[in-house]
Structure 1
Amino acid sequence: MSSTTALRAHLVRARLAGVVATTREVSLRRYRLFAAGDPRALIGLDPELPWGQRELIELMAEKCGVSADPLCTFGHDVIDPELTLSALGAFADRLGAAARRGAAVLIGTGHPHRLLGFYAALADALSAAGCAVLTPAQGRCVDITTRFGLRTHHLDYVRQVALVRLPGPARPGCEPGAHTHSPLPVRVALDAAAAAGGPLPELVIGDHGWVCGAGQLGFEAMGLADTDDPAPFVGQAEGRVAVVVPLDDGARSVYYRPLIRYVLDRAGLSS
């Protein structure tokens, strides 16, 4: 069995692709928010084109494989595993190119409880290949609007992967960091890197606001996105995000390990 065949089977079995946990109702709500220009859905992107809900559904059907029928309003979303595999290949190719030229890279996540291990493995491999994995603005305060109001977070790095934490002691047994869609952390990190005289990243890797916020500022950016996050896919369609891999971004962290092996093998970064 080829590595691609095995990974395709894993994607469907782990529900990273195929029928995923994200519901159509949740996705449609986010599409409506994006179409209305709500910052919670734009996550740092300033679209150049008018994107109504119908156009977003068509885009997400093309890029993810969700239903293109606007009358489909309930049930679980579906991600075409072939689209996931194709995007993972493009992701790996850019990762390998960055490694070969020794590019400076910034990696950050709004899903530290799920995706920290995935990104940390990339950071380790890039460091071993001679890339500078940047960690600007360590400890800097970031005020982020949440459903509980404005909360001050702190920018932190775990295994060279940026994330934000709420103040207070870490809970034993839990991976660090808070879930966020905000583009503010990447803006703070990039501002700090520029203020220090560089280096600036040649590639930003991540999800949510990390990808959209960096892409909006003109940095090469790529990452992962679920079916209820249209912003990265719009950014890709408008040429500001290089690669977006469609998959369920809220699964158990262990389920992403086969993706790490596949990406590093294809990028030529396996140890």
Structure 2
Amino acid sequence: MNWVAALPMYNVTPALAHDWRALLDHVHRRLRPWLEARGDTLAIVDPATSLDEFWLRENLLLSQTCGYPLVKALAGRVQLVATPVFSVDGCAGGDYRSVLVARTAAGVTSLAACRGLRAAFNNPDSNSGMNLLRSAVAPLAGGRPFFASVIETGGHLASLQVLLDDRADIAAIDCVTFAFVLDKLAHLGRGVVEIGATRSAPGLPLIASKRVPPDGIEALAIALADTIAEDRPLAKRLKLDGFANRPLDDYASILDIETDAVKRGYPRLA
């Protein structure tokens, strides 16, 4: 098998994209005995298709997705390899949450005060940008639209930019992404203020094709853990403390978050 791998989810800057590729290079070296014993190869790639298509490739050895697609479009179609544990507030044990940020000029200090303002979110299939924000708004909305308007931006960085451009007032940003933004893209952090945080959920999972055999999943998990243990400077740049071996059932809580919003009469962000 000619396997492929890519880690696309936290490539916040070109330097971070380089570091995520370096992580895969380390993993590749550690996997060589397993690959050579099978007569297999591994290519580290930039996905040329949509991520939804890439994640479903039969020759996918390793990638990262969001927990929302994992329990929706990808359910039963990929394998869970591991969950990264980040050295960011709210990420203990492989959890994460979203930071609620508002345009400073909007003058709000809580989500409740955002009624009638404009919201931005990255994608409809994002747990951090949509599902967790919907969950936070649902108890406040009373089954009615909460925002004056909602705009889809295509990414967390784009959501921050529309706040700075005065095209929206409030957004939910993955806390790991926001930590990288504050470190590396400070201009996107200026002009916004943190007004709270969402509930926690299992972090963005590392996945593999169903074609990867059990010994391959085990080899991947060991290679990832060894890389972080041995290359501490790389781990620090990526804010990685390690990887958690979480059961797939943990991710069902993301569906519970969705179901709770629906039961509250708030099935879509509005």
Q: What is the TM-score normalised by the length of structure 1? A: 0.31
Q: What is the TM-score normalised by the length of structure 2? A: 0.31
Pick the structure with greater CA Rg.
2
Higher relative contact order (CA 8 A, sep 6+): 2
